[in-house]
Chains A and B, each alone.
Chain A
Amino acid sequence: DVKVTQSSRYLVKRTGEKVFLECVQDMDHENMFWYRQDPGLGLRLIYFSYDVKMKEKGDIPEGYSVSREKKERFSLILESASTNQTSMYLCASSLLGVSAFGNEQFFGPGTRLTVL
């Protein structure tokens, strides 16, 4: 079974702090994604990566950056956390390309981030 893990389930940070969210997948998937999920807004794509050191902006990249130094690890960075970044953050991975036919995404358990 594919396993996607995230470094923290719950995280509380203060405004202005730099925040690192880590995601690791163990199935040698090429593609990894970061989403945030908010009530009434659904899942929104922040960034994704289709290869090591490659990254693409999603729909809401502002205020975030990412790093993919190794195939299995994809990090989301909040350079200076703000209260409007309080959310559930979900990492996902998939074997096939973003637009490939039948590309199931496997999600991690999520990190619930609160910025005070």
Chain B
Amino acid sequence: RKEVEQDPGPFNVPEGATVAFNCTYSNSASQSFFWYRQDCRKEPKLLMSVYSSGNEDGRFTAQLNRASQYISLLIRDSKLSDSATYLCVVNPDMYSGGGADGLTFGKGTHLIIQP
């Protein structure tokens, strides 16, 4: 059964600190991975894609560990505006042929940056 698991938090972090959270996935054939950000009462928006061994975008670093089946998101020098819910999203085997086995969303990790 496909699953994406995240710690729901909340993570309360002081401004300027570094914070990291993980996401584990159960489908070992999963091919691509994403982090989405969702602000309160807003729609999810893509934050980063994670395709191979990981990637970095400014203060954000996403890493993939295929052997242990987890991805992580690291936020450095956190800002008040980083407060949001971060959704881990996993795409199954690209040859699965579609159907209901589409993107699988984690339930999200709630992050609160405190001044």
Contacts and interface: CB of A to CB of B under 8 A. Distances in A.
Q: Do the two chains belong together in a single complex?
A: yes
Interface of A: 33, 40-43, 45, 48, 50, 56-59, 90, 97-110
A101 B45 contact: no
Contacts of B31: 101
Contacts of A41: 107
A48 B102 contact: yes
B62 to A, nearest CB: 14
B98 A99 contact: yes
Interface of B: 31-32, 34, 41-46, 49, 51, 87, 91-103, 105-108
A102 B43 contact: no
17 contacts: A33-B102, A42-B108, A43-B105, A45-B103, A56-B98, A99-B91, A99-B93, A99-B96, A99-B97, A101-B91, A102-B49, A102-B51, A107-B43, A107-B44, A109-B42, A110-B41, A110-B43
B46 A104 contact: yes
Of the listed residues B43, B87, B107, the one surrounded by the most CB atoms of chain A closer than 10 A to its CB is B43
A100 B41 CA distance: 29
B33 to A, nearest CB: 10
A interface majority secondary structure: loop
Nearest to B106: A42
B100 A59 contact: yes
A58 to B, nearest CB: 5
A45 B44 CA distance: 14
The 8 closest A-B pairs by CB, nearest first: A42-B107, A107-B43, A98-B102, A43-B105, A98-B98, A99-B96, A101-B94, A104-B46
A109 B42 CA distance: 6
